[in-house]
Chains A and B, each alone.
Chain A
């Protein structure tokens, strides 16, 4: 099975870095979608089948916390797992993210192995032979 993954970050360089890391981590990828903020991410989630969201917290227009809350209140989107990838270091703020339905937290900077372990923990292990299918959608 190949997963459609949505990467949400206001920085183009971080979106590319996360996408590249996912591919280096040999996650079986169908399409990788990119969004610059939570609002755009919700639009993509409403129009496409997404298996996993990796999102930053601090973003303009709609931040990761508000995006999580909107997903949590939507009957369909609430089932899509969200991994927050952020520089956030406050346990207080991270607890709030857990309360809003975050499935895992990855602190920047991260190693590819960390991303692989966390994604595998959220989605379950995958067949390694499927991991060479990958494409970016912008």
Chain B
């Protein structure tokens, strides 16, 4: 039996972001939200472990009311119950404040064997939440995992680091962050979605999880975003013309030699 808590994030669908070419800023208005890709891998892995070993998968998220759909999606994938922390004071939270909030929910849930997170989120891409949570929960962390096994109160995980692959071992309770390669997240069926609607989903305020307002939002953060811009691409943009492929290739070879980048 394993008790797994999966932290998921509702992120901006970055593939839909356009750039305002005049003002050189990203346009996020109207961009749809979706469950961050790696978090789906985390949910999938949790559900697979539960299917194999028995136990419970608990989904946790922090966000606006709209993030309910992300919790529901994870429940449809096989989560057993879910929590959404939503509170006006959450706005502007960086990874420091966010980890304070997540720790609040996790403490409320009680003990766990494994906390699973995606290695990063598709929009912020900071890689921070997993390790920060591990520290605040006082458990070891195993990051960038692409293969995971749980046996006899231990996790054995394969992860990639700069110089190659590592197989590591840690005792539970433990926090694990997963990569995209770990699995192929399932697509819930219609029946899964219908069933998920009946699963417990609790909405919590900061007060419910005993997190102080000053630990969340901008006040609880250590970093503040002060600007966003999309710098223009400074490239030569030369399309090589020619009658034949050989002629074009010849011109390209010449250009590369002139640039001093080959030879």
B is a partner of A = no
Q: Which residues of A contact B (CB under 8 A)?
A: none
Q: Which residues of B contact A (CB under 8 A)?
A: none
